[in-house]
Amino acid sequence: MLGHDHALSGALAFAAVAPLLPVTGTHLAVAAALTAGAGILPDLDEPGSTIARTFGFLTGGFAWIVHRISGGHRKGTHSLLGVALMTLAAVGAGQWQDGAHVTAGHTQLWWHLVPAGFLLALLFSAGFRALYIGGHHADAFGIGVAALVIWQGWDTERVTPWHVSVLAVCVCLGMLAHIAGDMLTHDGCPLLYPLSRYEFGLLPEAMRITTNKLAERWVISPLLLAGLAYFLWRDVGGPALTAPHHLAGKLSRSPAEVRGRGGERPRAGHGARKADPLLAGVGAVPVRAEQDRRDPGVRDEGGVRPVAGAGQHGRLARRPGGGPGHRLDDRLVVGHLERRPGQRGPAGHP
């Protein structure tokens, strides 16, 4: 596939998964541009490719070295091993940059920014070149954006529980998108190289496309543009066309949704049971409005109240007349549970 389509596929891949990270706003734009550059990163094994010509003889010489080490074009850098190595390099660069920010008072650690800065400048510049952004000044534009990102520290923003930087996520997604695109062509990609040279494809041989022919220019390219436009529109707040809910799920609910029907509010729900093992058998039972107002005329049968002298956290004792329809008092503080003799707790409660 052409570099233009590889860059589009990389940006589309990040836009598609952005709500799961989550990354929005300026971070979304920066990460999409980075992943567009990473979308042509596997072609660093070809000295005449777009990314190899980004910084002249510097990237050209480096591409020649990669070409010799990886075994030629569409070999090492187009395999799962190549994706893993490049991603680990991006993880290391992000960690070094993060170390420089942590000890920013020590100016002698400025060199911690060099690996991440070079990788950012390469990806931005290559992406802009592939997407025809900036014209002859795409390289300078990419270096400027990389300097801004380094200064802001955006690429070290933590987006997963495993503390993986945005830079590493972009490299991994972009390279995988590139390989998937090349697997649509007749040559395929040797995913298991160097263990195997078998070239895998995503389509049957008869349905695969040829680079820079009608199928790519009039089918693949328009589909990539349409998909990228849709996912970006969705990420900035547009309603989804395919499902009533957001990809990452509803992150918040309005007060009306929380109250539900009849003005009821959920109490001692799933989150409380997870937070305190002592509530493992307590069900989520709604408390009605008249009980919230402490109406003395309403008998709170089967409720749970604090026991006097139970200490700072309080102990829970069941009021007389407790039964399966028990409710929780609003003022209780969860601590040790105490039941009177003969009382039966909820189903499954010890």
Span 219-261, pLDDT tens digits: 999 999 999 999 999 998 866 444 333 333 333 344 444 344 4
| pLDDT attached to residue 336 | 45
Among 172, 248, 251, residue whose Cα is nearest residue 20: 248
Residues of the chain with pLDDT under 50: 240-285, 287-294, 296, 298-338, 347-350
- Whether residue 175 contacts residue 91, with contact meaning beta carbons closer than 8 Å, is answered with no
Tens-digit pLDDT profile for residues 269-326: 444 444 444 444 444 445 444 444 445 454 444 444 444 444 444 444 444 444 444 4
Q: What are phi and psi of 317, to 5 degrees?
A: -125, 145
| pLDDT attached to residue 341 | 52
Q: Which residues pair with 165 in a beta bridge?
A: 158
Based on the number of CB atoms within 10 Å of its own CB, is 105 exposed (0-12), middle (13-18) or buried (19 or more)?
Answer: exposed
**240: number of Cβ within 10 Å:** 13
Separation of alpha carbons 285 and 4, rounded Å: 57
| pLDDT attached to residue 46 | 92
- Whether residue 63 contacts residue 53, with contact meaning beta carbons closer than 8 Å, is answered with no
* Pairing of the two strands 336-337 and 304-306: unpaired
pTM of the shown model: 0.68
Q: How far apart are the first and last CA of the chain?
A: 63
- Whether residue 31 contacts residue 18, with contact meaning beta carbons closer than 8 Å, is answered with yes
Cα torsion through 38, 44, 47, 50, rounded to 10: -10
Q: Which two tokens stand for residue 168?
A: 């590493």
Among 53, 36, 19, residue whose Cα is nearest residue 120: 36
Spatial strand order in the sheet of 315-318: 304-306, 315-318, 336-337
Q: Which amino acid is at 176?
A: L
**Reduced DSSP (H G I as helix, E B as strand, rest coil) percent helix, strand, coil of the chain, to 5:** 55, 5, 40
Q: Which two tokens stand for residue 182?
A: 């090349």
Tell the residue number behind the tokens 């049957």, with chain if given: 204
Based on the number of CB atoms within 10 Å of its own CB, is 342 exposed (0-12), middle (13-18) or buried (19 or more)?
Answer: exposed
| pLDDT attached to residue 110 | 75
